[in-house]
Amino acid sequence: MKAVAVFPGSREVKVVEREGPRLAAPDQVLLRMLDIGICGTDKEICSFEYGTPPPGDDHLVIGHESLAEVVEAGPAAGRFAPGDLVVPSVRRPCPHPSCLSCRSGHQDYCYTGDFTERGIKEAHGFMAESVAEHERYLNLVPPDLREIAVLAEPLTIAEKALEQIFWVMRRRPPWLDPETPRDERGRGLSALVLGVGPVGLLGAMALATAGFTTYVYSRELPPSPRTDLVGAIGATYVSSQATTFPDLAETIGNIDLIYEAVGHSHFALEALRVLGTNGIFVLTGVPGLQAFVEADPARLMREMVLRNQVLLGTVNAGPGAFADALADLDLFRRRWPAVVRTLIAGRYPPEQAPDLILGRPAGIKTVITFNAPA
């Protein structure tokens, strides 16, 4: 079967021919991969700045955002039947008995760092014709979400963040009642998203759906398909080329939440200075090596303490976030059908993957497909 792999030793990214997977344990499921999304992480891996092949291999099959169809379920994988659509999670637990997170199924909070991630860290990924996976790492997808379910994994970043934001919001008046419906939790609060990439835009959609008055701030000057999308979901787009952070803060009022989705350290520091009282600053971007920036840590500390602020980093996601992402995709589809049709920029064959990953992203999400829809 075909797969797309990166070879860090020879610095190559190419389509390779590999042996197809077989069920290796009774709880495994054989998957035919349908859609595999590409993202900034893939670009870093294919630029040899991130990612690690499995021990003993000279290459890593990439791909971590995916949608697949069940071909065969092992005798102990009774939750699934051939034809079911599934989205696999990415991270797999570390082996250490002492890791409370991994031992309780919460490897997205792994303590040791010895987890693996499919398509990223020491485990082959999903950009292949077929894959075998244990049933506990698979999330069942309703057939209605066939066209967009490949967006579930990038949306889980926002869903895991929201889960934590709601916990933090219970600490200050008005105390958030945990019984508040999901779509009312952000009511009366402002959220500022930094970045118009897929994580930023999906994050803005999730925040708007949760009831936040949502702003998206990035360099790009409108109009563009991305800035149009922001308007179409009832959020407000502001370009950093036209408006400074202090001016933006004046328009918004108290900024209750900042959701960072660029991984740009200087931009994030500037934003931190305008975070409101009792505000939460969520970091999701993973910066590579960047130029040294000057900061004023005493001032930042003073503000953070005197204004009860929270700085929250979040990575990867667990089963709850996958369930929320699939539920929200369904909501997005009903609420903004025209917007949802524009989220996937195009579907391309694996041979084009290297150029698409390393080139400038066009549109919102580019998808590689091995198997045309059935």
User: For binding to ligand BGC (CB under 6 A), which residues are involved?
Assistant: 39, 41, 64, 90-91, 117, 120, 153, 315-316
Which residue lies nearer to ligand BGC by CB, 123 or 252?
123
Residue 196: half-sphere exposure toward Cβ, Cα within 13 Å? 27
Q: Where are the alpha helices (DSSP H) in the chain?
A: 40-46, 100-103, 152-168, 198-209, 225-232, 245-252, 265-272, 297-306, 319-335, 337-342, 353-358
C-beta nearest to Zn ion: residue: 39
Which residue lies nearer to ligand BGC by CB, 158 or 210?
158
**218 touches Zn ion (CB under 5 A):** no
Number of residues that bind Zn ion (CB under 5 A): 2
Q: For residue 31, count other CB atoms closer than 10 A to its CB.
A: 28
- Strands 280-283 and 257-260, by their bridges, are parallel
**Which residue in this structure is represented by tokens 């701030």?**
217
* Minimum separation from the CB atom of position 64 to Zn ion (A): 6
Which residue lies nearer to ligand BGC by CB, 67 or 73?
67
The interface with Zn ion within residues 3-42 (CB under 5 A) comprises: 39, 41
Could you tell me if 269 and 295 are in contact, meaning their C-beta atoms sit under 8 angstroms apart?
yes
Question: Per the structure block, which two tokens stand in for 40?
Answer: 């900034």
The entry of ligand BGC, Zn ion, none that residue 264 binds, CB within 5 to 8 Å by partner kind: none
266 alpha carbon, distance to own chain's centre? 22
The DSSP 8-state label assigned to residue 52 in this structure reads: B
The entry of ligand BGC, Zn ion, none that residue 315 binds, CB within 5 to 8 Å by partner kind: ligand BGC
Which residue lies nearer to ligand BGC by CB, 286 or 362?
286
Which residue lies nearer to ligand BGC by CB, 315 or 327?
315
The rounded distance, in Å, linking the Cα atoms of 367 and 36 is 5
Could you tell me if 18 and 75 are in contact, meaning their C-beta atoms sit under 8 angstroms apart?
no
* Minimum separation from the CB atom of position 259 to ligand BGC (A): 15
The entry of ligand BGC, Zn ion, none that residue 120 binds, CB within 5 to 8 Å by partner kind: ligand BGC
* Minimum separation from the CB atom of position 62 to Zn ion (A): 10
* Minimum separation from the CB atom of position 159 to ligand BGC (A): 12
The entry of Zn ion, ligand BGC, none that residue 90 binds, CB within 5 to 8 Å by partner kind: ligand BGC
Could you tell me if 120 and 53 are in contact, meaning their C-beta atoms sit under 8 angstroms apart?
no
Interface mask (CB under 5 A) for Zn ion, residues 39-58, using x and -? x-x-----------------
The entry of ligand BGC, Zn ion, none that residue 324 binds, CB within 5 to 8 Å by partner kind: none
147 alpha carbon, distance to own chain's centre? 18
Q: For residue 349, count other CB atoms closer than 10 A to its CB.
A: 12
Which residue lies nearer to ligand BGC by CB, 52 or 243?
52
Question: Per the structure block, which two tokens stand in for 367?
Answer: 């998808």
The entry of ligand BGC, Zn ion, none that residue 159 binds, CB within 5 to 8 Å by partner kind: none
The rounded distance, in Å, linking the Cα atoms of 283 and 302 is 20
* Minimum separation from the CB atom of position 124 to ligand BGC (A): 15
Could you tell me if 7 and 16 are in contact, meaning their C-beta atoms sit under 8 angstroms apart?
no
Question: Amino acid letter at 117?
Answer: E
Which residue lies nearer to ligand BGC by CB, 162 or 169?
162
The entry of Zn ion, ligand BGC, none that residue 218 binds, CB within 5 to 8 Å by partner kind: none
Question: Which parts of this chain interact with Zn ion (CB under 5 A)?
Answer: 39, 41
